[in-house]
Amino acid sequence: MLSFFKEYKFFGIVLLIVSAIIISIFYSILKPKKVLPIYQPAMVNYEMVDSTIQHQKKYHKIADFSLTNQNGQTITQNDYKDKIYVADFFFTTCQTICPIMTDHMYKIQKEIIDDDEVMLLSHSVTPKIDSVAQLKRYAKQKGVNDKKWNLVTGDKKQIYELARKSYLAVKTVGSGDEYDMIHTENFMLIDKKRQIRGFYDGTKPEDITQLLEDIETLKQEKP
C-alpha cells in the first residue's frame, strides 16, 4: 500500500495544482464584475440637492457649463467630452479642509498624469475673490498641471447651480445671498456620459485610494 502511494505521489501533486488552476479560472470567469452605481438626486443627502430636483430618480447628468480657468481660458463641457473626471468645490483662501483636498487632488493628478481618459475639475465657490490671477497663483503653488486639471471661476449663479443641481455637492448658507453656499469635502467621480458614479471624502486617504480603484473600474465599462 505504501509503495502505491509513493508511485502516484507526483501524479497527485500535479492533479492538485491543475485542479487549483482550473478552479481559479472558473472563479475569475463567473465572478461578477464590479459596477459602480449611477447616482440620482433622490439617492443623495437632500441637504446637498436643490429642492427642485430632490425627487428625481433617473436621467440625471451634469449640465452644460462655461467657466474660466487659471489661464483665462473658457472651459466648457466640451473640454471634458468622452473623459472620466474628478470634480470638487473649493476656494483658494480656505484654511481648513481645502488644503487637504487640494493635496489629495494633486495625488490623483500624479496617478493619472499619463492617462488620456481622465481629468480633474475644481470649482471656486468664491468667484469674486478667486480671479484668474488668484487661481493662477494657487495653481503654481499646488503643482497643477494645466493639461490635466482646471481650476475654474465664473458667474456665481452658474457655479451655485452646478453645485446644487448637477454635482449635488454643497449646502446652502442661508445668510441672505441666494447663491451663498458651503462647499463640502466631497470629490465626485463623473463618467463619460456625464453621470455621477461616486462620492468620496476628499480629506481621507482611504477614500482617495478607493477613488483611484473606481476610476479603473469605470475605464472597463463599455461605452
Fold classified for 41-219 = Glutaredoxin (3.40.30)
Which residues 6+ apart lie within 8 Å of 114 measured at CB? none
Q: What is the predicted pLDDT for the residue at 191?
A: 98
Q: What is the predicted pLDDT for the residue at 67?
A: 98
Q: What is the predicted pLDDT for the residue at 4?
A: 47
For the chain, give every domain's residue range.
1-31, 41-219
- Of the candidates 69, 83, 79, 87, the residue with the CA atom closest to the CA atom of residue 169: 87
Q: Is 53 helix (H, G, I), strand (E, B) or coil?
A: coil
- Of the candidates 63, 75, 64, the residue with the CA atom closest to the CA atom of residue 148: 75
Q: What is the predicted pLDDT for the residue at 122?
A: 98
Q: What is the predicted pLDDT for the residue at 180?
A: 79
Residue 85 class from Cβ within 10 Å (0-12 exposed, 13-18 middle, 19+ buried)? buried
**Mean pLDDT in consecutive groups of 10 residues from the start of the chain, 223 residues:** 52 57 54 85 95 96 98 98 97 94 98 98 95 98 98 96 96 67 93 98 98 97 80
Which residues sit opposite 88 in a β-bridge? 122
- DSSP letter at 203 equals T
What are the helix (H) ranges across the chain?
Answer: 2-7, 9-30, 98-112, 132-142, 156-161, 205-219
Q: What is the predicted pLDDT for the residue at 172?
A: 85
Q: What is the predicted pLDDT for the residue at 222?
A: 80
User: How many Cα atoms occupy the beta-carbon half-sphere of 73 within 13 Å?
Assistant: 11
Which residues 6+ apart lie within 8 Å of 136 measured at CB? 70, 71
Q: What is the predicted pLDDT for the residue at 41?
A: 98
Write out the three cell numbers for 175.
445668510
Q: What is the predicted pLDDT for the residue at 7?
A: 55
Which residues sit opposite 85 in a β-bridge? 119, 190
What are the CA-CA distances from residue 7 to residues 14, 16, 19, 22 (Å)? 13, 16, 20, 25
User: How many helices (DSSP H) and strands (DSSP E) are in the chain?
Assistant: 6, 9
Whole-prediction pTM: 0.84
Residue 15 class from Cβ within 10 Å (0-12 exposed, 13-18 middle, 19+ buried)? exposed
